[in-house]
């Protein structure tokens, strides 16, 4: 299994960060490659669909929320085409709040996935899956940083520079 873990500090209370992350339909505001984000249901068992597009490829990642611990954790798994799962951990981080801010929260995204589990045909419509993954994976970190900047501006009300800390990376990048 490959895994990746990245985190970002937001100048917001933990509950507010949790609620924002649980609102999947906001995500398409933040990424150049996420065309649409849909969710059906609420809480554990809710299903989400994230439609990404890049080059001539469009793919809808389908998943479901598997467990929640408000306001600290949202666990999820992918339900189609690839063996993947992960969680958002939302932790108070008062020591990371700047002097002009009352509070801060660290949002940590952890995801693990098995590249070999990508179902045949899921991405092969334009090019072989291996080729597509070799081109897309180097774009993940810069896109995550761009999405984080946009999310911070949306959630905090104004843009600022952000540091996305990548704690681990897939073995095969």
- The answer, yes or no, to whether residue 147 has pLDDT greater than 60, is yes
CA angle, residues 47, 4, 43, in degrees to nearest 5 = 20
CA distance linking residue 154 with residue 148, whole number of Å = 10
Task: Provide the residue ranges of all domains of the chain, joining segments of one domain with +.
Answer: 2-26+67-168
Q: pLDDT-based confidence at 160, cuts 50/70/90?
A: very high
The encoded tokens of residue 6 equal: 């990245």
CA angle, residues 135, 115, 136, in degrees to nearest 5 = 15
CATH code of the domain made up of 2-26+67-168: 3.30.530
Question: How deeply is 23 buried, as exposed, middle or buried, from its count of CB atoms within 10 A (0-12, 13-18, 19+)?
Answer: exposed
In contact, 137 and 169? CB cutoff 8 Å: no
Q: Specify the pLDDT at position 124.
A: 47
In contact, 48 and 24? CB cutoff 8 Å: yes
CA distance linking residue 131 with residue 100, whole number of Å = 47
Q: Specify the pLDDT at position 130.
A: 64
- The answer, yes or no, to whether residue 78 has pLDDT greater than 70, is yes
CA distance linking residue 60 with residue 49, whole number of Å = 6
Lowest mean per-residue pLDDT among 59-63, 70-74, 163-167: 163-167
- For residue range 8-23, what is the model confidence (pLDDT) as tens digits? 999 999 999 999 998 8
Among the listed residues 169, 167, 166, 149, the one whose alpha carbon sits nearest the alpha carbon of residue 158: 149
In the predicted model, what is the mean pLDDT of the chain?
A: 85
Lowest mean per-residue pLDDT among 20-24, 67-71, 112-116, 139-143: 139-143
Q: pLDDT-based confidence at 132, cuts 50/70/90?
A: low
């Amino acid at each position: 299994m490959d895994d990746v873990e990245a985190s970002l500090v937001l100048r917001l209370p933990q509950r507010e960060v949790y609620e924002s992350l649980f609102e999947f339909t906001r995500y398409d505001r933040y990424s150049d490659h996420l065309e649409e984000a849909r969710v059906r249901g609420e809480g554990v068992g809710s299903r989400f669909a994230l439609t990404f597009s890049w080059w001539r490829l469009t793919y809808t990642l389908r998943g479901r929320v598997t467990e929640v611990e408000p306001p600290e954790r949202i666990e999820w798994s992918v339900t189609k085409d690839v063996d993947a799962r992960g969680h958002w951990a939302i932790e108070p981080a008062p020591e990371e709040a700047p002097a002009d801010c009352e509070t801060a929260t660290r949002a940590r995204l952890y995801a693990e996935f098995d590249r070999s589990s990508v179902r045949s045909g899921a991405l092969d419509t334009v090019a072989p899956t291996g080729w597509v993954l070799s081109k897309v994976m180097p774009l993940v970190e810069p896109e995550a940083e761009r999405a984080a900047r946009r999310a911070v501006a949306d959630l905090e009300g104004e843009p600022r520079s952000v540091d996305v800390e990548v704690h681990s990376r897939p073995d095969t990048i």
